[in-house]
Amino acid sequence: MNNLIIQKMKPIQGDITRLKVDAIVNAANKTLLGGGGVDGAIHRAAGPQLLEECRTLNGCQTGEAKITKGYNLQAAYVIHTVGPVYTGKPDDSRLLSDCYKKSLALADEYHVTSIAFPAISCGIYGYPVEKACRIALDTTVSYLKVNNTIQKVFFVLFSSSHLSVYQAYLDSIK
Ligand code: ADP
């Protein structure tokens, strides 16, 4: 059972803005008006219309997700989710898990069959990647066990060290 699910999940190294999938997930901030890191890269690649649409959304709470079109991206949609700033408190993991759950649920609602996640909260927001990786992968496994529209989930890591962390954890839960 786990194996069939895990075959749908693929960690890769690269730039999420280049991916040909139905939806990419943005690690946004609460304003949804752009920022640094992956958020800045997605806005640059999608073009100014993305910011225009984001202005109509009235921001987003931590652990929630909102969807827009992808504009100049290969992806039809961008799902914007706001990860927690890492504090070391129990709320962190619940909120980070919510980001994955809500993004996957929104993707399903839009009949998305392929989706790509960055390492939400693992940059400026300071979440240790070993901890965040377990939450990302465990939450996705649980989701895919009970929902089968989504056929492929990419985890796009910027660095080879992050890729190794994801690959090792995925191998351990096979
Ligand atoms: P957060 O504020 O949620 O921590 P960041 O954008 O600072 O978000 O970082 C999230 C992760 O995304 C980091 O691991 C960072 O290295 C990575 N990242 C930055 N740019 C890209 C990109 N173009 N594609 C994929 N991952 C990226």
Domain boundaries, the chain: 2-172
Q: Are 24 and 78 in contact (CB under 8 A)?
A: yes
Distance in Å, CA 25 to ligand 1 centroid: 11
Instruction: Report whether pLDDT(42) > 80.
Output: yes
* Residue for token pair 């989701």: 143
pLDDT in tens, 117-147: 999 999 999 999 999 999 999 999 999 999 9
What is the CATH class of 2-172? alpha beta
Distance CA 174, CA 5 (A): 9
* Amino acid 2: pLDDT: 83
In degrees rounded to 5, what are phi and psi of residue 42?
-65, -45
Atom of ligand 1 nearest to the CA of 82: 3
Distance CA 105, CA 164 (A): 27
Atom of ligand 1 nearest to the CA of 36: 6
* Amino acid 161: pLDDT: 98
Q: Is residue 124 within 6 Å of ligand 1 at its C-beta?
A: yes
Confidence of residue 174 (pLDDT cuts 50, 70, 90): confident
Per DSSP bridges, beta strands 114-117 and 152-157 are parallel
Both tokens assigned to 62 = 């931590």
Q: Pick the residue whose CA is nearest to atom 20 on ligand 1.
A: 38
Cα–Cα nearest to 119, from 158, 172, 74: 158
Q: How does the average pLDDT of the chain come out, rounded?
A: 97
Q: Pick the residue whose CA is nearest to atom 15 on ligand 1.
A: 123
- How are strands ordered across the β-sheet holding 23-28? 9-13, 152-157, 114-117, 23-28, 77-82, 65-69
Taking the whole predicted model, whether its pTM rises above 0.95 is answered as: yes
Distance in Å, CA 118 to ligand 1 centroid: 6
